[in-house]
Structure 1
Amino acid sequence: MKDILDKAKQWLSSTFDAETQKEINELIKNNSNDLADRFYKDMEFGTGGMRGVMGAGTNRINKYTLGRATQGLSNYLIENVKKTQLSVVIAYDCRHNSKKFAKVVADVLSANNIKVYLFEDLRATPELSFAVRYLKCDAGIVLTASHNPPEYNGYKVYWADGGQIVPPHDNGIINKVNALDFSEINFKANENLIEVIGKNVDDAFIQASVKNGSLSNTIDRKNLKIVFTSLHGTSIVSVPDTLGKAGYTDVHIVEEQRVPNGDFPTVKSPNPEEPEALEMATNLANKIGADIVIGTDPDCDRLGVAVRDLEGNMKLMNGNQTMVVMTDFLLRKWKEEGKINGKQFVGSTIVSTELVNDVAASYGVDTKVGLTGFKWIAKMVRDFPELDFIGGGEESFGYMVGDFVRDKDAVTATLLACEVAAYAKQNGSSFYQELLNIYVKNSFYKEHLISITKKGMDGAAEIQQMLSDMRNNPLTIIDGEKVESLCDYEASTKKNLITGKVTKIDLPKSNVLIYQTESGTRIAARPSGTEPKIKFYFSVNSSLNNTNNAETVEAELDSKIQRIIKEMNLN
């Protein structure tokens, strides 16, 4: 505790403003338990950048942790990108302090003689990714905490290719940041180097979204009834315009959730993965007889999709299901246009459904699988310039259409989901029916995610212990099935637990474990890169010979998952 107190007292120096000193003084004076959590570690980059609770302290998002990150980025750019005039574009979302933090970041960059393009108001994260390449910038930054609770904010860094930073740049920037003292941050802005941007980039982004997200000129878009909710986030700026420009006229917005608001007052969590978050939208859909519901998270990179099932009830798709259907339709489009020639690929991640691999293979297209996080899919695009990237996604409700955006993009993916629904409707089918057809053709895959929250220093240690136990005392039987392999991405090994054979995994190291049985049942475990959680991913599958049997097979697979959860004492 003495080390934490000493670290906290450093924030009482003249390096920090009076407001920050007062906040820290109060915590010390009151002997607050919160002090340890604020100072036991430094805020660090994870799979989604730097994200945390706002407040004073090294383990909080504030002017100084953001300033230090930006000073480190500035130093890295100056040292590694040899240009007369470096440039960075900055966007921010609807969260509390996002606009203020964006200006702090702009000030530090400009103080280091770096040209800054600063969006005039909140914008979607995928537009930031697009803007990096559109404006020919050397990097991009977005201030967002995605779907985290209201007390969070965050900071994501993008490289010149429009993708989030990956090796070697991520470690290079982190090393620069860690080498800095807070007193070395240059906050003295050069306002002449800060240019406010808006409509011109918006128009180019929406035009590109319509071009990439459209499936066919023959789709009857006026006959699809859509309910859309921005969940108080940034997507209200771009999604309605994109749908309108594509030709969708029957769009109904959830008015109670239209206005951006960092408190997210109508939902427990602004996360479209949660059925509760889309409840107002699905209620509206039932009232007006809509075909499809789409909701996006605060920074508009994830989307939740609900569609009518065979009985006409609204059913929330999970990220794997949406990803599979959209990938299938993109592949179908490419095939119809005669563009598949063996030089294409789709992208996925190690915790996403393997069904997408089967779907792509049925079209003669390769699936490249990377670590969790869209930065790895963006890296695939960069690593294989000789190949065409068709699309890619991950289980966490994210999708990327083509490579004009190098991150998950709920703007273009929203349009694509509506294209699928409209095309299916005019051909006597539906979005859900198309999913069932894919199951019949391949197998019925059912996935489930459990997230267990473990907050603070003790929680972090508990998460590490859970993973250590799974690593050192591996499961050998899962629901009566013999475990065939254990992939340990931290050790970069795949071990056959039946034969003992060990092979190397050629991916960057990551604290992820994946068990697979002889029958194809999979369990993955990993700590969240952005929240104090450990995540368990379950995947089971079975054959489906007829769509009429879908409900029975799904119930059997659901029961199987619940048995596994009970077996692992996770319920």
Structure 2
Amino acid sequence: MDITENLTPLEKAKLWLGEGFDEETRRAVEMLISSQSADLDDSFYRALEFGTGGMRGIMGVGTNRLNKYTLGQATQGLANYLHQQFSGQQIKVAIAYDVRNNSKEFGKLCADVLTANGIKVLLFKEHRPTPELSFTVRDKKCNAGIVLTASHNPPEYNGYKVYWNDGAQIVPPDDEAIIKEVYSLKFEDIKFEGNDDLIEWIGEEQDDVYIDACMENSLYQKDKIGYDNLNIVFTSIHGTTYKTVPQALKKAGFTKVDLVKEQMIPSGNFPTVESPNPEEPAALEMALDLARITNGDIVIGTDPDGDRLGIAVRNLDGEMQLLNGNQTNTILTYYILDQWKKAGKITGKEFIGSTIVTSDIFEDIAQKFGVDCKIGLTGFKWIGKMIRDNEGKEKFVCGGEESFGFMTGDFVRDKDSCGSILLACEIAAWCKANGKTMYQYMIDIYKETGMYYEGLINVVKKGRSGAEEIKQMMTDFRENPPAEIAGSAVTEVRDYLEQTSLDLKNGQKSVMDGIPKSNVLIYYTADGTKVCVRPSGTEPKIKFYVSVKDSIQSEEEFRQKLTVLDGKIQQVKSDLKL
């Protein structure tokens, strides 16, 4: 429990005027107080919490902000827990950071706190992608890892994610135990005076090892069919992949790669985009423009910390179209399992990973190829936990979630854009060599599995009042579930907070085993429509994930059903008053 939780925001702010805080911080707090700024309440009304992606927030002074003291407190708590878990050992922690403002300084700050506690640190010299940090934790046999990133959030944000010794993000009970340690600390307990003798600097040599692992786990065509005839356009959107992805593509044998040069310059201000989010077509606009000039076959963009990717390919009209995360992952998953089947590698003891908000098509694909599909909560840390829990029993093949994340193999225990990009380019090259596009390949898959189509609706509610509104919205949806959605009766309600499933056809309620509690609701309707409702763990949003489905037999029928299913998603939005 936060030891200051019963204080008002103003009382908390006044504590930050004491001698335990540096002069720059005290001046900033004094300004907040004297100006009676509305930011005072939001800066101090709570302590930052760990969500699905760790601790993420706006940079600035205050308990609800990312700064020297909140990061120091988190790292001191981690150090204390590491000493408890690995008593008597020389503890090692790898640290990486993305291109965001202050990330490099925050990385060194975390290193100082750890070394002040006698912990050895492997610190990247410059910014590196999050999946490379995950890989490095295992490759260098570290006890833990830290990455400073706020993913695709706006420039004023930064964040802090902790990885355990298996290279995956922390999950219960470790995350809860670390948070308990953090909240038991006073800021004066933080050891800031680091020992540089305990820092080992790492860089380009680790890139080579990581890229080789990406190639080994993501490429299947030994004869590199069509590699030299695929026109690729890539943008790092000012993020960390500006070096690693071009190097990986070249090393793999892809020769026609055009880079969006203006966006290959790393910058925490993301000057050429409103949002560095590859889920949004606007973030790839410059890359799409370049593809029109170069006759690109595939456009790829990554987010600032290089774990997620957006892909655009030519649709049935020959125009570049951004695939959603489920569509991309459908193509990648089907291709991998098809390759495994052809190689005789499927024995019945393999599995793929997905999440409760991701399309159900992955269960259909898994069934087709005779592998298991394990479903976890939102966030790749749960897919990482699946791998750890099943090591030695079942072989992990690949995993993904709708938010533009995917990984192949278990060499990285988090979503990995580099390996996924190599795989996507191989598929695109193979498709082109066989006279089709990736989009047509996706339609071929839908002919077998049924056509799934998804939409994501974000409702933004900022600040303290916004958090209360989101809480009330979840209460309302939980206590008053809709009887009908888009003209189809709701047949089942899954409540992951209560861990129950209610069958509305017979009124029977059953307990759902195997998935931890989470504030998520899922409605299923008679025609296969699925609506998931959950508050974001990292942003001031409540999210509605909508999935609709139908069957198709041809490309022409795909065109027709696309219009029908898109209309159904709009009807869902209207019915839920979003």
Interval of TM-score (by shorter of Structure 1 and Structure 2): over 0.9
User: What are the superposed Cα offsets for residues 286-333 of structure 1, whole Å, 9 maximum, x if unpaired?
Assistant: 111010000000000110000011221101100000001000010011
Counterparts in 2 of 1:484 and 1:70: CA distance versus 1, 3 Å: same
Partners of 1:342 and 1:43 lie apart in 2 by 43
Partners of 1:83 and 1:525 lie apart in 2 by 45
Determine the structure 2 residue equivalent to 1:550: 558
What is the Cα deviation at residue 83 of structure 1? 4.2
What is the Cα deviation at residue 281 of structure 1? 0.4
User: What are the superposed Cα offsets for residues 491-532 of structure 1, whole Å, 9 maximum, x if unpaired?
Assistant: 111111221111112210100000001221011000001000
Determine the structure 1 residue equivalent to 2:3: none
What is the Cα deviation at residue 355 of structure 1? 0.7
Task: Mark the runs of 5 or more structure 2 residues left unpaired by the alignment.
Answer: 1-5
2:435 aligns with one of 428, 431, 442: 428
User: What are the superposed Cα offsets for residues 103-146 of structure 1, whole Å, 9 maximum, x if unpaired?
Assistant: 00000000000000000000000000000001100000000000
User: What are the superposed Cα offsets for residues 339-359 of structure 1, whole Å, 9 maximum, x if unpaired?
Assistant: 001010000000001111101
1:238-249 map, 5 Å: 238-249=244-255
CA contact (8 A) 1:123 1:237 kept: no
Letter matched to residue 552 of structure 1: Q
Partners of 2:133 and 2:453 lie apart in 1 by 34
Partners of 1:124 and 1:362 lie apart in 2 by 34
What is the Cα deviation at residue 551 of structure 1? 1.1
Matched, 1:329 2:335: yes
Partners of 2:244 and 2:385 lie apart in 1 by 26
Partners of 1:3 and 1:256 lie apart in 2 by 46
Partners of 1:2 and 1:392 lie apart in 2 by 44
CA contact (8 A) 1:24 1:56 kept: yes
- SS, match of residue 252 in structure 1: strand
Determine the structure 2 residue equivalent to 1:262: 268
Task: Mark the runs of 5 or more structure 1 residues left unpaired by the alignment.
Answer: none
Partners of 1:286 and 1:358 lie apart in 2 by 35
1:215 aligns with one of 211, 220, 224: 220
Partners of 2:332 and 2:434 lie apart in 1 by 17
Letter matched to residue 47 of structure 1: T
User: What are the superposed Cα offsets for residues 410-463 of structure 1, whole Å, 9 maximum, x if unpaired?
Assistant: 011111110110111111221111100011111110100011110011000000
Partners of 2:307 and 2:51 lie apart in 1 by 17
Determine the structure 2 residue equivalent to 1:68: 73
2:379 aligns with one of 355, 373, 378: 373
Partners of 1:505 and 1:34 lie apart in 2 by 42
Determine the structure 2 residue equivalent to 1:197: 202
- SS, match of residue 12 in structure 1: coil
What is the Cα deviation at residue 85 of structure 1? 0.3
Of stretches 94-103 and 81-90 in structure 1, the one that deviates more from structure 2 is 81-90
What is the Cα deviation at residue 201 of structure 1? 1.2
What is the Cα deviation at residue 6 of structure 1? 0.8
Determine the structure 2 residue equivalent to 1:94: 99
Determine the structure 2 residue equivalent to 1:459: 466
| Number of corresponding residues | 570
Letter matched to residue 515 of structure 1: Y
1:564 aligns with one of 572, 575, 578: 572
- SS, match of residue 146 in structure 2: strand
Letter matched to residue 91 of structure 1: A
Matched, 1:304 2:304: no
- SS, match of residue 145 in structure 2: strand
Of stretches 437-446 and 147-156 in structure 1, the one that deviates more from structure 2 is 437-446
1:173 aligns with one of 166, 178, 194: 178
Partners of 1:123 and 1:35 lie apart in 2 by 34
Partners of 2:321 and 2:95 lie apart in 1 by 37
1:396-415 map, 5 Å: 396-415=403-422
User: What are the superposed Cα offsets for residues 61-109 of structure 1, whole Å, 9 maximum, x if unpaired?
Assistant: 0010000000000000001123420010000000000000000000000
Q: CA RMSD in A?
A: 0.9
- SS, match of residue 112 in structure 2: helix
CA contact (8 A) 1:345 1:365 kept: yes
Structure 1 length-normalised TM: 0.99
Partners of 1:249 and 1:497 lie apart in 2 by 56
CA contact (8 A) 1:228 1:253 kept: yes
Matched, 1:121 2:123: no
Partners of 2:226 and 2:534 lie apart in 1 by 43
- SS, match of residue 391 in structure 1: strand
Partners of 1:505 and 1:330 lie apart in 2 by 30
Structure 2 length-normalised TM: 0.98
Partners of 2:268 and 2:106 lie apart in 1 by 14
2:517 aligns with one of 509, 519, 527: 509
Partners of 1:516 and 1:2 lie apart in 2 by 43
1:386-535 map, 5 Å: 386-506=393-513, 507-535=515-543
Partners of 1:80 and 1:263 lie apart in 2 by 39
Letter matched to residue 52 of structure 2: T
Letter matched to residue 562 of structure 1: Q
Matched, 1:348 2:354: yes
- SS, match of residue 538 in structure 1: strand
What is the Cα deviation at residue 2 of structure 1? 7.2
User: What are the superposed Cα offsets for residues 40-59 of structure 1, whole Å, 9 maximum, x if unpaired?
Assistant: 00011100000000000000
